[in-house]
Structure 1
C-alpha cells in the first residue's frame, strides 16, 4: 500500500476499442499532474455488461441535446490522454506473480476478471451514477430511480480478490440540471473530480476498506420521456417568463429575510418573523454584535440578476433600522461575513466577480471600509468564511475546481491561514474536504455554540439552488483530517410558503435566515 511518501501506483482497466471520453481524459491528465499518483500501466479487462439501449425516441432526443450542448459547453480534449494510455505497459499476464499496481481503475464497462484481481493489491475501483455503473449515459436523468431525494448519487465502488462482491468506498450526491444531456456532462466532470479526490485521499491517508458488501446494481427503471418533456417544458417556460419580466422591470422579488429568537439548534423557520423588505432582493444575512447593538449586513439587489452590493442595518427588537450601503463596487458583492480581531473590524464579502478573495477593514463602522488584503488572484471563490479555532485561523470556501463548469455548490475547500492578512495560506492536504451538492456549499459562517462548531450548509437539490439548510457539526478540524456530521436539516416543508431556505446567521440570542417564495 502506498503512503504519503510513495506515489499510489494505478493501472487503467481498458478493453477492445476503448477510447476515453473527455471526463476520463480529465482523470488521466490530473493523475499525471499529481505527484501523489502514478500511472503504472494498463490491464485489458472484460466487458462487464452490454450497455443499456434506451428507446428510439429517447436516443433521438439525446442526439438533439448533444448537438445543442456543443454550443453551450466545450468538450474536454481527450487525444493527448489516449496517446499516453496507448504508450503504457500492459500489466496483465500471470497474476500469481503478485500485484503489479496498488489499484486498478475501471473508467468504463470493462472490468478485471476474478483471476486478474490479484494484479492490484487494493483491488479494482469503479464508478456508479444513479444506479448505472461505468460511463455516465446521456439519458441518466430520464431514469425515474436515478435521483435520491432530489439529487443523483455517484458512488466509488471496489472489488478485491480476498472478499466477495463490491463495497462502497465513498458517495456524493449532485444537483441535476434542467436538461438530461447537460446533467450528464456535469455529472461526468463531478465524477472525475470525486474520483481524483478519493485517489488523493488513498495516497495521503489510506483508510481501511469497508466490510459491508454493497447491494448489486440494478438496471434503471423505465425511461420516463413524457415526464421529462413536461418538466423541461415547464422549466423553459418559467425561464422565458423570468426574462420577459426582467425586460419589463417587473421581475419576481426573490430572497427575503426572517428573524427569530434562539440559537442555531433551536431554529424553527415556521415561527420566524419576516423583516420588512428594504430592497428588491435581500439575501446572505450576517449578524454582528458591536457596542451593544446588533447589526445586520446582507446582499442587496435592485432587480433580478442585478449587481449586488452590501447593505447595513441595525436590529431594534424585530424592527430593521436601515443604515445605508456599507460597500459598493463595480462588480457583484454578496455573502458579507463581518468579524472583529486585534481591535479592528473586518468584512469578507464574496468577490468572485473580481476573480479573487478580498478582505475589507472598517475605517468608520459600519458604512466606511477600505481594502485590507487580497488572495487567490484569478480564481473563482464563493461563500468564503474565516474561523479562529484553538489558536488557528481557517478559511472555508467553495472554490470551483473545474475543467468546464464554473460551479460552486459541490466542493468545500479548507485552508489554514494567518488571519485577515492572508499572507500565509496552506491548503488542506485532503481538499476538497467535502463533496456533494446537498452538503458542500457554505450557508453562513461557522457557529460556535457550547463548545461545538456548527457549519451551516446549503441543500442544493431537486434542481433548485438554495433548496434548504443543513447544520453540520464539525467533529475534526486539523491539517491531518476533517470530519463533520449532519445534526439538523431544514427544507421548504419547515417554512410554509417557501420554495427554499438558503443562509443562516446567529448572534446575540437572535437568528436571521433568508428564504424565497416559489
Structure 2
C-alpha cells in the first residue's frame, strides 16, 4: 500500500489479474485476510440478472495460486464491500447493506464459511461502505450517507465508540467532507508518516473512477481536518478494464484492487426488459 501511495499509482508494479467473471456478473470490493498461510479474499459477487450482491471468499496459497472459491454470506438484501478485520481475538465482517435499513456487524464462526450477526450499529442515518479503524484508543467508523444518490458518493461521515459493538457517537462535524472527489470510503485505512490515511472513491465523471488518499491532519471527537491526494487510476496493464479503480485494500505484502469496464453493447437493457416482463 505504501509503495502505491509513494509512486502515485500501480503502473510498473507486479500485478496478478484474476480471470474475467462470466457474462452479466462481476467481482468487486476486495478485502483480504491471511490465515495459516492462506490468503482469503472476500468480495462482492454481483449478478445483473437479479441485481443482487452476495459475499464470496476466494482462497489462495502463499504463492498466490488459487485454492477454491465459495459463497459465504447471502441475505435477502444486497450485500457488498465486505470489510473483514481482526479485533478482540475474533474475526469480523462489516458488509455494506444500507438497503436492509441497518448496519450489521458479523462475527466469524467456522472461518471463513460461517458468519453470524453480532450487533447492529446505530448511526445518524443509513451508512454506505462503512469502514472501521482504531485511532488513539477509540474505534472509528468512516462511511458515506445513504440519504440520496449524491450523498452516497459525496457525504463522508464519521462516528466513534469505546467498543466495536457501540454505542456509537456521530462526529459533530458531519459530514466532514461533501465532495464527489472523495466522499465515500474505498479500502483499508493505514498509517503513513505518523498520519492516518483512508482510501476514498473519486466519483467525479463516473462512479468508481479512481481512488484518492484522504489524510487526517487532525482527528478527535471534536475536530476532523483532512487533505486529499491526487487520483490513483487503473494501470495500463488492466487492458480493457481501465475505466475505473474502485478499491485499494491492504493485506500484508499484498494490496488488492478492483478495476472496471463499461459494457456498452446494450445487453444490460435486454436483461432489464426481461425482468420487467417477468414482473408484469
TM-score tier (shorter): 0.7 to 0.9
Contact kept in structure 2, 1:412 and 1:440, CA below 8 Å:
yes
Alignment deviations for residues 40-71 of structure 1 (CA, whole Å, 9 cap, x no partner): xxxxxxxxxxxxxxxxxxxxxxxxxxxxxxxx
Residue in 1 that maps onto 2:275:
none
1:427 matched to 2:179? no
Structure 2: gaps spanning 5 or more residues: 263-280
Q: Matched residues in 1 for 2:50 and 2:257: separation?
A: 20
Aligned residues: 255
The Cα of 1:449 is off from its aligned counterpart by 4.1
The Cα of 1:261 is off from its aligned counterpart by 10
Contact kept in structure 1, 2:72 and 2:115, CA below 8 Å:
yes
Aligned equivalent of 1:501, options 245, 254, 259 = 245
Q: Which has the higher contact order (CA 8 A, sep 6+)?
A: 2
Q: Matched residues in 2 for 1:406 and 1:507: separation?
A: 30
1:357 matched to 2:99? no
Aligned equivalent of 1:417, options 155, 161, 185 = 161
Q: Matched residues in 1 for 2:135 and 2:185: separation?
A: 17
310-319 or 451-460, which deviates more = 310-319
Contact kept in structure 2, 1:326 and 1:368, CA below 8 Å:
yes
Larger-Rg structure: 1
Contact kept in structure 2, 1:275 and 1:319, CA below 8 Å:
no
Aligned-residue CA RMSD in angstroms? 2.5
Q: Matched residues in 2 for 1:426 and 1:361: separation?
A: 22
Aligned residue for 2:163, secondary structure, equals coil
1:324 matched to 2:66? no
Structure 1: gaps spanning 5 or more residues: 1-259
Q: Matched residues in 2 for 1:314 and 1:391: separation?
A: 33
The Cα of 1:401 is off from its aligned counterpart by 4.0
Residue in 2 that maps onto 1:287:
32
Q: What's the TM-score, normalizing by structure 2?
A: 0.82
Contact kept in structure 2, 1:338 and 1:348, CA below 8 Å:
yes
Q: Matched residues in 1 for 2:208 and 2:33: separation?
A: 23
Over 3 Å counting, the alpha-carbon distance change for 1:449 and 1:304 in structure 2 is farther
The Cα of 1:419 is off from its aligned counterpart by 3.3
Residue in 2 that maps onto 1:31:
none
Q: Matched residues in 2 for 1:430 and 1:513: separation?
A: 30
Aligned residue for 1:409, secondary structure, equals helix
Q: Matched residues in 2 for 1:377 and 1:452: separation?
A: 26
Q: Matched residues in 2 for 1:269 and 1:509: separation?
A: 17
Contact kept in structure 2, 1:472 and 1:488, CA below 8 Å:
no
Q: Matched residues in 2 for 1:406 and 1:474: separation?
A: 23
Higher helix share: 1
